[in-house]
Amino acid sequence: MSDNGHFMYFAFGSNLLKERLQLANPSAIFQYTGRLKDHVLNFGLWGEHVDNRWHGGVATIEASPGLEVWGVVWKMDNQHLSSLDKQEGVDMGMYYPLQVTVETEGGPVFCRTYQMNHFHACPPSPQYKQVVCLGAQQNNLPSEYQKRLQAVQTNNYSGPSILDQIAPVMT
């Protein structure tokens, strides 16, 4: 948390999409797109046989020299730190928070982000991938990066998901 009542949050998965992030964190305000150097984006679960609200793998970052993850830097009120932690499952051990330096057009920004505990690779559901891709498009991430996101293979899940809650907000 910062002294001015706000903190910066680097989103790289479903929270790229403003409508998804603001469901539980209405104070989130777009600041920059940016890249996290020496990391790679992966999709998976925090346990081998875990079910989740997205019905498939979700995004995480892992250290990987020479690669980069693009995302969005959101400015958020300190009062939403606990709701963001809850959304990311920190209390349940799904993710843990970490501080990273994100390169932006405004210079380096020190941000909070999240990395998955006990990562097990698992493809995302089509709905999760759609939210990530919509967020990347909404925030004009580099086209090459968007193409990489669009090329991610899914698990072909076809039932209800959190996307059903987000879609009405987007209209």
88 an active-site residue? Answer: yes
In sequence order, which residues have a C-beta less than 8 Å from that of residue 169 and are 6 or more positions away? Answer: 19, 22, 23
C-beta separation of 68 from 35 below 8 A = yes
Q: Angle of helix 126-138 relative to helix 163-170, nearest 10 degrees? A: 30
Alpha carbons within 13 A on the beta-carbon side of 116: 22
Alpha-carbon distance values, 122 to 15, 29, 36, 95, 145 (Å): 19, 31, 22, 16, 20
Name the catalytic one among 19, 88, 103, 105: 88
Residues involved in catalysis: 88
